[in-house]
Amino acid sequence: MAKTLSILIPVYNEKATVLELVRRVEAVSLPVAKEIVIVDDGSTDGTRDLLAGLGERAKVVLHERNRGKGAALRTALASATGDLVIVQDADLEYDPADYPMMLGPLLDGRAEAVYGSRFLGGPHRVLLFWHYFGNLLFTLLTNVLYDINLTDMGTCYKAFVASHLKEIPLRSERFGIEAEITAKICKRRLRLYEVPISYSGRTYAEGKKITWKDGFSYLWCLLRYRVSD
């Protein structure tokens, strides 16, 4: 039976990029049917007006207030109907042209989860040393705590067999969701692959939202979920 893919897109104040992102998602040729699930997390910049014009091109869910990326991602996952899911930020840092690479190990049965690594040789914009250094530290901590050998635990490009991800209780409201997902799939020993992806990071002036303060959420989740669920 043919597989279906749900693209989960949490959105908050991305008026400048969200329509271009949807266009790029639609343009990717894949051997699976695509479903676009967008959750607007209380945008105030006019993003909602643009989403209202998408019609049947996407399933759009609205949060009445800003709750955080984790909350938006959980809502998107609950609304997804695909056999596979992929998390796609709306800011164009990650390129949907990498979907075939991301989905390959899932479609041929090698993997149950796939991470797109920014550090396996794909082209990337050169930016922000301290973000890079922080990710190295959190990746090292993840590898030590969970006995794995990831190169990029902080990547936002993650794809899964949907049934496996839906079985995991996810609780994080904000950016800690990235560390929580990684911790919990590692504890469950899902077959995890990494593939190289391109990356076009933004500066804060261009709209980047994650800050050094979110590092505390990463640390808390990695430590907490090592001993509890």
Give pLDDT, residue 211.
61
Q: What are the extents of the domains in the chain?
A: 4-227
* pLDDT band at residue 199 using 50, 70 and 90 as cut-offs: confident
Give pLDDT, residue 208.
55
Give pLDDT, residue 212.
59
Q: Which residue did the predictor score with more confidence, 185 or 223?
A: 185
Q: State yes or no: pLDDT of 1 exceeds 80.
A: no
CATH code assigned to 4-227: 3.90.550.10
Burial of 170 (0-12, 13-18, 19+ CB in 10 A): middle
Cβ within 8 Å of residue 50, ≥6 positions away:
15, 18, 19
> Is residue 40 helix, strand or coil?
strand
| Tens-place pLDDT, residues 105-153 | 999 999 999 999 988 876 666 566 767 777 888 899 999 999 999 999 8
Enter the pTM of the model.
0.89
**Residues 115, 219: Cα–Cα separation, whole Å:** 19
Provide the β-strand partners of residue 36: 7
| Tens-place pLDDT, residues 60-86 | 999 999 999 999 999 999 999 999 999
